[in-house]
Structure 1
Amino acid sequence: MLAYLLRRLLLMVPTLLGVVTLTFIVTQFVPGGPVEQMVTQLRHGAHRGDGGGGGGYHGSQGVDAQQIEQIKKQFGFDKPPLTRYVLMLEHYATFDLGQSYFQHDSVWNVIRARLPVSVSLGFWTIVLTYLVAVPLGIAKAVRNGSRFDTATSVLVLVGYAIPGFVLGVLLLMLFGGGTFFELFPMRGLTSDDFDTLSATGKVLDYVWHMVLPVCASVVGNFAIVTILTKNTFLEEIGRQYVLTARAKGAPERDVLWKHVLRNAAIPLLTGLPAAFVGAFLNGNLLIETLFSLNGMGQLSYDAAIRRDYPVVLGSLFLFTLIALVTKLIADVCYVLVDPRIQFDSVDR
């Protein structure tokens, strides 16, 4: 196990390097970089007469070369691309993600300020998805072909077909004071008076704000986990060891929960990292925008639009690292669930 873990940790280095390098190269060819945006702002400010052009704007001559060089130096573009790339790798080696171009703060602080929203949304999405979908998938497998199986299949597939953003709009109209009932708040993670509330009041206020965005995020995930659980259980129920356990008189409950579940949990565990990364790290831009939640989805979008390259590259580096570690943990759990699997067989 130790050799396997060491090998996987070493393989993370070229993976991280490849992701960061490819993204850095792409940013060198994307038009409208931070220097161009700053120059455009100076020109527009001067045309509006609000003083935004500063002393470096000279009418039809535009921004003078000296001011442009100062802007390039401000953003670090006075150095060749290779030099900037090497400096970036040196900083990343010490987990220094740099400074945001436009938010006047370190990338670490910018990410930390947005993480609570995405953590909350992603955590409850994963928890509720597995708490509901796994038991439902087991019940469908046990009652395969029944009316219950058919009805629940229709429900989860309808939920899967409805985009989360559309469901969010519908929930706001019904329960957010949009058209019918005003039972839940329309925006934010907490109320304005959150700091003045008691401990119990803070918990209730937080849950009150999370109900609608979590419901909009979680419904579409039910179908995948439910159908996966059902199919896995059906496959395991038909195996010889299940027939043998039943022939020996083992209670059906023990057969399902002590024997079948242990083997059926393997594909669920292997799918957990992808679900974790998707819901926990990436954020949901549309849901965050709809419910006015400043999470990682909104941060990533704003950074890409504004060409805030340190935020783009830093968040990508951090989340790629977390995704790789999560995948490694899932592989370890994979082996712990089924001791028959050796680490060499799960090595990628």
Structure 2
Amino acid sequence: MFAYIVKRILLMLPTLFGVLLITFIVTQFVPGGPVEQYIAEARRVQGGGDTSAYRGGQGVDPRKIEQIKKLYGFDKPPIERFGQMLGQYARFDLGYSFFQNKPVGQLIVEKLPVSISLGLWTFFISYLIAVPLGVAKAVRAGSRFDFISTILVLFGYAIPGFVLGVALLVVFGGQLQWFPLRGLTSVNWDELGWGARIADYLWHITLPVTAMVLGSFAVTTMLTKNSFLEEIRKQYVLTARAKGLSEGRVLWKHIFRNALIPILTGFPAAFIGAFFTGALLIETLFSLDGLGLLSYESIIRRDYPVVLGSLYVFTLIGLITKLVSDLSYVWADPRVKFD
């Protein structure tokens, strides 16, 4: 196992390097960087707001442009800047934001609670619905319940979370005004008691969690159903029934443990993925100040340290989670070998 883990960790390094390299190259060709934004703002001030035609640095003091390039580090060749960035990331120094004047690591830590809150609710509600529903569908395979639930599950899966979020906002937030349109808490949060705070938090979190949950449990539901169906057809189940065991004992004592192996091994990836998958659009739509909204605003403002730093953290977490998921196969099923 130790050799396998070391091999996988070594394979993470070129993957991480490739992701950062491709993203860094893309950022070099995207127009509208911090230097260009300064030039456009300077022209707007000097020209009374007319920035309709791009004129490069025309009309702006060249010495000022050089100062701005040096401030943002754009006075160095791209290769040198990339090497410097890798050196910082090796020390887990993610640099400073161009526009928020804070360390990138501090920004990520500040925004993390909102994304964790969304992710935990999405993960637990999805699994609490998906696993029992998948078991019920497997036991009643081919019935009307199985057919109708499959249609509903796939229908929910086909609707993008962002589109569903817009519909929920328009209907329940705009027309009916049952839920707030934005934010995770009310303005007077600090003045509320603990009971009122919990109610206020749940009131705000209902719509975004609903938008994320509805399409997220379809895969787990169908995986649970297929896993149980595969185990139900095996010989040991027929033997258990032939011995006179009740259907409930056969299902929960014999089938349940083996059928949950694919689901349990997917827990690490699903748990981490719930924090980030789809969070960008949902957090932007509901104005939730989390990692998704931070990434979106950083891309729009060309805040490259935040973009690359958050990508580095997300990629590293994803690679480690994938390793844990693969190891969990062996821990859950001793028949699986690393070689």
What is the TM-score with the length of structure 2 in the denominator? Answer: 0.91
Q: Distance in 2 between matches of 1:68 and 1:314?
A: 25
Q: Distance in 2 between matches of 1:32 and 1:186?
A: 31
Please say if 1:113 is aligned against 2:113. Answer: no
Identity over aligned pairs, percent: 63
Q: Distance in 1 between matches of 2:239 and 2:278?
A: 46
SS at 2:260's partner residue?
Answer: helix
Q: Over residues 16-54 of structure 1, what are the superposed CA-to-partner deviations in whole Å (9 max), with x where a residue is unaligned?
A: 2221122112222222222112111111122237xxxxx
Q: Residues 106 and 217 (structure 1 numbering): CA distance in 2 closer, same or farther, change over 3 Å? A: same
Aligned pairs for 1:147-166 (under 5 A) are 147-166=144-163
Please say if 1:183 is aligned against 2:178. Answer: yes
Q: Distance in 2 between matches of 1:337 and 1:261?
A: 13
Q: Distance in 2 between matches of 1:66 and 1:129?
A: 57
Contact map agreement 2:284 2:296 (CA 8 A) in 1: no
Q: Residues 69 and 282 (structure 1 numbering): CA distance in 2 closer, same or farther, change over 3 Å? A: farther
Q: Distance in 2 between matches of 1:343 and 1:200?
A: 50
Q: Distance in 1 between matches of 2:333 and 2:253?
A: 13
Moved more, 16-25 or 194-203: 194-203
* Distance apart, 1:183 and its partner CA: 2.9
* Distance apart, 1:106 and its partner CA: 1.0
Aligned to 1:28: 28
Aligned to 1:53: none
Amino acid at match of 2:69: K
Residue number among 257, 262, 269 corresponding to 1:267 in the alignment: 262
Contact map agreement 2:231 2:237 (CA 8 A) in 1: yes
Aligned to 1:16: 16
Please say if 1:316 is aligned against 2:314. Answer: no
Moved more, 142-151 or 289-298: 289-298
Amino acid at match of 1:11: L
Please say if 1:203 is aligned against 2:193. Answer: no
Q: Over residues 252-271 of structure 1, what are the superposed CA-to-partner deviations in whole Å (9 max), with x where a residue is unaligned?
A: 22322233222222332454
Q: Distance in 2 between matches of 1:324 and 1:11?
A: 10
Q: Distance in 1 between matches of 2:212 and 2:287?
A: 14
RMSD: 2.0
Aligned to 2:94: 97
Residue number among 213, 219, 233 corresponding to 2:214 in the alignment: 219
SS at 2:288's partner residue?
Answer: coil
* 5+ residue gaps, structure 2: 50-56
Contact map agreement 1:117 1:294 (CA 8 A) in 2: yes
Please say if 1:235 is aligned against 2:230. Answer: yes
Q: Residues 105 and 286 (structure 1 numbering): CA distance in 2 closer, same or farther, change over 3 Å? A: same
Contact map agreement 1:335 1:342 (CA 8 A) in 2: yes
Question: How many aligned positions are there?
Answer: 332
Moved more, 317-326 or 166-175: 166-175
* Distance apart, 1:13 and its partner CA: 2.1
Q: Distance in 1 between matches of 2:278 and 2:151?
A: 28
SS at 2:86's partner residue?
Answer: helix
Residue number among 267, 280, 284 corresponding to 1:289 in the alignment: 284
Q: Residues 326 and 61 (structure 1 numbering): CA distance in 2 closer, same or farther, change over 3 Å? A: closer
* Distance apart, 1:72 and its partner CA: 0.4
Amino acid at match of 1:9: I
* Distance apart, 1:10 and its partner CA: 2.6
Aligned to 2:46: 46
What is the TM-score with the length of structure 1 in the denominator? Answer: 0.89
Q: Distance in 2 between matches of 1:307 and 1:44?
A: 19
Contact map agreement 1:138 1:230 (CA 8 A) in 2: yes
* Distance apart, 1:273 and its partner CA: 4.7
* Distance apart, 1:158 and its partner CA: 2.0
Aligned to 1:343: 338
Aligned to 1:301: 296
Residue number among 116, 121, 126 corresponding to 2:123 in the alignment: 126
Moved more, 296-305 or 98-107: 296-305
Amino acid at match of 1:18: G
Amino acid at match of 1:294: D
Q: Over residues 101-121 of structure 1, what are the superposed CA-to-partner deviations in whole Å (9 max), with x where a residue is unaligned?
A: 111111112222222222111
Contact map agreement 1:129 1:222 (CA 8 A) in 2: yes
Aligned pairs for 1:134-145 (under 5 A) are 134-145=131-142
Aligned to 2:169: 172
Amino acid at match of 2:275: F
Aligned to 1:68: 65
Q: Distance in 2 between matches of 1:17 and 1:162?
A: 35
Amino acid at match of 1:22: I
* Distance apart, 1:283 and its partner CA: 4.5
Amino acid at match of 2:217: F
Contact map agreement 2:287 2:293 (CA 8 A) in 1: no
SS at 1:230's partner residue?
Answer: helix
* 5+ residue gaps, structure 1: 50-59
